[in-house]
Structure 1
Amino acid sequence: MKIGVLALQGDVREHLRALASVGAHGMSVRRPEELEAVDALVIPGGESTTIWKLAVAFDLLEPLRARIKEGLPAFGSCAGMIMLADRIQGGIDGQQTLGGIDMVVRRNAFGRQVDSFEADLDFAGRGPLRAVFIRAPWVESVGADVEVLARAGDRIVAVRQGPLLATSFHPELTGDARVHSYFVEMINQKPVP
Structure 2
Amino acid sequence: MFQTEKLIAAQAKAIESAQVLAQLAIENAKAVADIHYDATKDAVVATQVKAAQILTIKDAKEALEIFTADEAQAVLSELSAIQGKVSKVISKSNKEVVDMIESAMDESKLELKKMVKEISNGVPTSAAPAISAFDYVFDAAVQGFDQAYAVSKDAYTSFEKTIESSLNLFQDQYVPSKKAAPKKQKAIAA
TM-score, normalized by length of structure 1? 0.17
Q: Which one has more relative contact order, counting CA pairs under 8 Å at least 6 apart?
A: 2
TM-score, normalized by length of structure 2? 0.18
Quick check: which one's strand share is greater? Answer: 1
